[in-house]
Amino acid sequence: MAKPYMRQGEREDVVSPLQWMDGDTSSPDGDMPLSSHRYRTNGLNHQSREMGSEDVEEDEEDEEEGQEDENGPKRRGPKRKRMTKARQERFRARRVKANARERSRMHGLNDALENLRSIMPCHSKTQKLSKIETLRLARNYICALSEALEEGQSTESRAFMETLCKGLSQPTSNLVAGCLQLGQASGVGVRPEDRHGVRGPPAVLGGVGMGVGTLSYSSPGLPSPPYGTLDSAHLLHLRAMKGGVYENHSPNEYNGGGVGTPPYDDPPTPPLSISSNLVSKQEPSPHYLPPHHYSPSSMDQTATQGQVLYQTAGYDVRLEVPYDSYHPPHVPPRQITSVYRD
DNA sequence: TAGGCCATCTGGTCCT
DNA sequence: AGGACCAGATGGCCTA
């Protein structure tokens, strides 16, 4: 039975060592003695760590701890005192509270990660990106978009995809490549459960000649992973742009690119630098159902109909957004129509 | 079965 | 003092 704090998909498998206290020498499920290696940290049983320095200072009436373990090293510092019943209860209350806070904190972190997943260029309901892969892909996505703006590349270009997949594991690369393939094939081959995730028409990626099998980072033939969807809204179709301000960096400058999940210590992504107007290339979809991750605080709600002024890093970005199916402030940028500095 | 990923508990440290 | 953050440890689940 799930505990009140548990969320969907979470397990009840990990048992708090606190449940073993108060003289109960058996584990809650009755099959694990306290002397088990379970919940041992750095060779110290949690039971003994629980009587830390904090406990030493209180409860004058407490008895002093018995003799040191003759086999173990002599312990320095003030003598520890036994856990009285009252102290155990105080400790337990503190620990329970702290655990709840920590769970809540981690849930918040996971929620944020889930938000990040959902705005990734490929978002699959059936193949969820791991945490580390989500962060890598997000990093790559920012890089790829920066390069696309900087060098006037199309998001349909091979370079864009190469940057996107840099340092990703093989399955994730396959997922991304599969998403692109999906875009090219107009949904052919999508699993039914993923087809619902296709928001709007498939991304217009055809005509570029970028067959997935030609990409070095993907497996030839794509061993039929559960491909996700390529959200066309995330691929900002940018017209070629001249005059980028800072130096280009080719994907080859990065040291990722292997199979598996290699360490990723790329140089920091340079700041986005935009100096000329960008014109949208594709009409917005009338069927588009946007994700919901655009902060109201980052958008100027006084923008004219169909557009949102977006301020970032000293630039004003005018974004064309669909008003047909959704409303600000949760409308994501559909297309960049212009970018200028004030 | 090994390895990857995950949720959870925990004590330490830092900050308010 | 209490909370946030962090890293280590642990065991369960899943997959190749």
Would you say residue A84 has pLDDT above 50? yes
Which residue has the least CA–C1' distance to nucleotide B8? A14
- Gap from A186 CA to C1 C1', in Å? 60
Nucleotides of C under 7 A from a protein CB: 3-13
Would you say residue A133 has pLDDT above 60? yes
What three-state secondary structure class fits A342? coil
Smallest CA-to-CA distance from A146 within A245, A217, A283, A292 is with: A245
**Measuring from the CA of residue A98 to each C1', which nucleotide is nearest?**
C3
- Gap from A98 CA to B10 C1', in Å? 10
- Gap from A263 CA to C15 C1', in Å? 22
Percent of chain A with pLDDT over 90: 3
Footprint of strand B on the protein (CB under 7 A): A 5-7, 10-11, 14, 16-18, 39, 41, 46, 49-50, 52-54, 95, 98-100, 102-103, 106-107, 110, 128, 130-133, 169, 261
- Gap from A83 CA to C1 C1', in Å? 21
At residue A221, the pLDDT reads 28
Q: Which residue has the higher pLDDT, A133 or A256?
A: A133
At residue A83, the pLDDT reads 66
- Gap from A97 CA to C14 C1', in Å? 31
Is the C-alpha dihedral spanning A55, A56, A58, A62 positive or negative?
positive
| The residue to which tokens 């290699």 are assigned | A262
Burial A126-155 (b: 16+ CB within 10 A, else e): ebebeeebbebbbbbbebbbbbbbbbbbbb
- Do A38 and A138 meet the contact criterion of CB atoms below 8 Å apart? no
- Gap from A273 CA to C5 C1', in Å? 34
Would you say residue A1 has pLDDT above 70? no
- Ranked by mean pLDDT, which of A62-66, A87-91, A187-191 comes out on top? A87-91
Helix, strand, coil proportions of chain A in percent (round to 5)?
30, 10, 60
Q: What is the pTM of this model?
A: 0.52
A294 Cβ nearer than 7 Å to chain C strand: no
Q: Which residue has the higher pLDDT, A14 or A132?
A: A132
Task: Calculate the average pLDDT of chain A.
Answer: 49
Nucleotides of B under 7 A from a protein CB: 4-12
Percent of chain A with pLDDT over 70: 28
Would you say residue A212 has pLDDT above 80? no
At residue A81, the pLDDT reads 56
Burial of A280 (0-12, 13-18, 19+ CB in 10 A): middle
Q: Give the whole-angstrom CA distance, residue A326 versus residue A322.
A: 7
Would you say residue A130 has pLDDT above 70? yes
The whole-number average pLDDT for the span A74-102 is 71
Q: What is the pLDDT of residues A141-192, one digit of tens each?
A: 999 999 999 988 888 888 888 888 888 887 788 777 777 666 554 333 333 3
**Measuring from the CA of residue A11 to each C1', which nucleotide is nearest?**
B7
At residue A173, the pLDDT reads 81
Q: What is the pLDDT of residues A266-316, one digit of tens each?
A: 443 333 322 222 222 233 332 322 333 333 233 332 233 333 333 333 333
At residue A146, the pLDDT reads 92
- Write out the two tokens for A259: 């199979």
What three-state secondary structure class fits A338? strand
- Gap from A210 CA to B8 C1', in Å? 44
Would you say residue A210 has pLDDT above 70? no
Contacts of A204 (CB under 8 A, 6+ apart): A156, A183, A232, A237, A282
At residue A31, the pLDDT reads 32
- Gap from A48 CA to B10 C1', in Å? 12
Would you say residue A46 has pLDDT above 70? no
- If phi > 0 it is left, if psi is from -120 to 50 it is alpha, else beta; for residue A186 that is left
